[in-house]
């Protein structure tokens, strides 16, 4: 994955995300859409064969964009850790079945 900042203001960031598509960006959007500090979040994948997408996040005026970004990335990291644990547990059960 490669990230390029297209726009960064006090309240909004627009990123170009290369090498990721709907799966990753949808999970990231889901994290932010449930955050009350977020005014807008969205992504655009122009075509499945084009490996560059854009991700936009805008926070409400009273919030710090950097704090919201950091919290969101940590939440996604935690969610992926949970997925890893559940997957490994299921694999272990499958391997030990009689």
Question: Tens of pLDDT along 30-88?
Answer: 999 999 999 999 999 998 888 899 999 999 999 999 999 999 999 999 999 999 999 99
Average pLDDT over residues 4-12: 97
Cα separation, 51 vs 17, in Å, equals 8
Domains within the chain, CATH numbers bracketed: 2-95 (3.30.1360.10)
* pLDDT over threshold 90, residue 98: no
**pLDDT single digits (tens) 16-34:** 999 998 999 999 999 999 9
Structure token pair of residue 66: 């950097």
User: Going edge to edge, which strands form the sheet with 52-59?
Assistant: 2-8, 12-18, 52-59, 38-44
Question: What local confidence, expressed as pLDDT, does residue 18 receive?
Answer: 96
């Amino acid at each position: 994955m490669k990230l390029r900042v297209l726009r960064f203001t006090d309240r909004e960031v627009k990123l170009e995300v290369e090498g990721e598509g709907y799966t990753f960006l949808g999970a990231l959007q889901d994290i932010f859409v449930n955050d009350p500090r977020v005014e807008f979040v969205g992504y655009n994948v122009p075509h499945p064969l084009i490996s560059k997408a854009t991700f936009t996040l805008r926070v409400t005026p009273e919030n710090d964009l950097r704090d919201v970004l950091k919290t969101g990335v940590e939440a996604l990291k935690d969610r992926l850790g949970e997925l890893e644990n559940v997957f490994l547990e299921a694999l272990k059960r499958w391997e030990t079945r009689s």
